[in-house]
Amino acid sequence: MSPSRKTINELLTAYPFLSSFLEDNNINYKGNEDKTLREIINLLDKNEQEELAINIQQLEENLESFIEQMSEFLSDDDEEVTSITIFPGTDKSGAPEKYESLELKKGEIVCIVGPTGSGKSRLLGDIEWVAQNDTPTKRRVLVNNSVPDSKWRFSISDKLVAQLSQNMNFVMDLTVEEFVTLHAESRMIEDIEDTVKTIISNANNLAGERFSKDTPITSLSGGQSRALMIADTATLSKSPVILIDEIENAGIDRKRALDLLLAEDKIVLLATHDPTLALLGNRRIVIKNGGIDKIIETSEEEREILAELEVLDKRQMQLRNALRHGEKLQ
């Protein structure tokens, strides 16, 4: 039977996620759960229907599309993304890129370096759009070594790339707990309460200063916001690739943040010019004039520099904490 002919009760039993659909479409069904969508709309007089700008036919079609999309999103038969392979295209001047192919594997950190405007966004855009020689760079992207499903382009709930960029802020007027709950609901998570707890506690492990679940998200410090965004994205975002655009050093344990993402089997792309971070990756992609100029493997010598930097980093963090707690520096 077509969903449009089911009563609200039957619909909500079969598809619990429809409660958000009904709410977002301003359908007030309270007391009329035994009626179909059309019957409820017909209870409104013409003026009221006009006021709500409802077209019942369109609404029924939307109901069916929504059920279809959500059922697909919730089904577990999606193939897990284990690798993404990028084949060369051209740079801005049309010269071919000088690498054979670039394979990004899950659980890996790859850094992206190059000046602003060099083409980092376009590379990311190519991955997100799973380019098939049809973008300005003419690159080609494979997912799990095969030509990808077009759903990656258009599905809003299955995106290949999640992004944490530098100038991001929280703008909603909610507490930390309300906010993470809202996100979990929109991702149709089953065990919302526990998931929310885990995310908040993970975020607190990353943040220099602790915050409570009742803190309004807009009053979190820069470091706390970053910590919450990373913990939240690690757990709730379904995207297999996470791009992080520079994690500032203040108020967040960056190494732990990356470990958290890697534990969730993400492919982590890190756009950074901070040597401590850049050396955490196994490789770094150098972007120049819109193209990938070269791919550098992190060498043993470079890793030794990392050990040096980590000592400095720790020392700086320690001094920062001492300042925060009103102690004398020594």
Partner 1 sequence: MKLVTFSGPPSSGKTSVILKTIESLRHRDVSPAVVKFDCLYTDDDVLYRKAGVPVKKGLSGSLCPDHYFVSNIEAVVDWGLENSYDLLVSESAGLCNRCSPYIKDIKAICVIDNLSGINTPKKIGPMLKTADIVVITKGDIVSQAEREVFASRVQAVNPKAIILNVNGLTGQGCFELSTLLTEESQDVTTLKGKKLRFSMPSALCSYCLGETRIGENYQMGNVRKIDLEKGENSESK
- Residue numbers at the binding site for partner 1 (CB under 8 A): 20-21, 23-26, 47, 50, 53, 55, 58, 61-62, 65-66, 69, 121, 124-125, 129, 134-136, 153-154, 156-157, 162-165, 167-172, 179-180, 182-183, 186-187, 225, 229, 232-233, 236-237
Tell me whether residue 62 or residue 299 sits nearer to partner 1 (CB atom). Answer: 62
**Can you say whether residue 90 is alpha, beta or left, with left for phi > 0 and alpha for psi between -120 and 50 degrees?**
beta
Minimum Å gap between C-beta 23 and partner 1 is: 8
Tell me whether residue 186 or residue 299 sits nearer to partner 1 (CB atom). Answer: 186
Tell me whether residue 113 or residue 131 sits nearer to partner 1 (CB atom). Answer: 131
The CA-atom distances, in angstroms, between 262 and each of 109, 203, 257, 330 are 8, 15, 9, 35
- Rg, C-alpha atoms of the chain: 24
Minimum Å gap between C-beta 238 and partner 1 is: 9
Tell me whether residue 165 or residue 318 sits nearer to partner 1 (CB atom). Answer: 165
Backbone angles phi, psi at 241, to 5 degrees: -110, 135
User: How many C-beta atoms surround the C-beta of residue 143 within 10 A?
Assistant: 19
Minimum Å gap between C-beta 203 and partner 1 is: 12
The one-letter amino acid at 185: E
The 3 state secondary structure assigned to 78-133 is CCCCCEEEEECCECCCCCECCCCCEEEECCCEEEEECCCCCCHHHHHHHHHCCCEC
Minimum Å gap between C-beta 30 and partner 1 is: 11
Q: How far is Cα 231 from Cα 201, in angstroms, rounded to an integer?
A: 9
Give the dihedral of Cα atoms 92, 96, 101, 104; nearest 10 deg.
Answer: -10
Q: Name beta bridge partners: 207.
A: 252
Q: How far is Cα 290 from Cα 93, in angstroms, rounded to an integer?
A: 8
Tell me whether residue 164 or residue 285 sits nearer to partner 1 (CB atom). Answer: 164
- 31: its two tokens: 């007391």
Backbone angles phi, psi at 215, to 5 degrees: -70, 135
Tell me whether residue 111 or residue 234 sits nearer to partner 1 (CB atom). Answer: 234
Minimum Å gap between C-beta 249 and partner 1 is: 20
Q: How far is Cα 18 from Cα 8, in angstroms, rounded to an integer?
A: 9
Tell me whether residue 136 or residue 148 sits nearer to partner 1 (CB atom). Answer: 136
- 310: its two tokens: 């980590």
Minimum Å gap between C-beta 125 and partner 1 is: 6
Tell me whether residue 142 or residue 174 sits nearer to partner 1 (CB atom). Answer: 174
Minimum Å gap between C-beta 148 and partner 1 is: 15
Minimum Å gap between C-beta 110 and partner 1 is: 19
Minimum Å gap between C-beta 63 and partner 1 is: 8
Tell me whether residue 164 or residue 207 sits nearer to partner 1 (CB atom). Answer: 164
Q: Could you tell me if 32 and 8 are in contact, meaning their C-beta atoms sit under 8 angstroms apart?
A: yes
Q: Could you tell me if 145 and 114 are in contact, meaning their C-beta atoms sit under 8 angstroms apart?
A: no
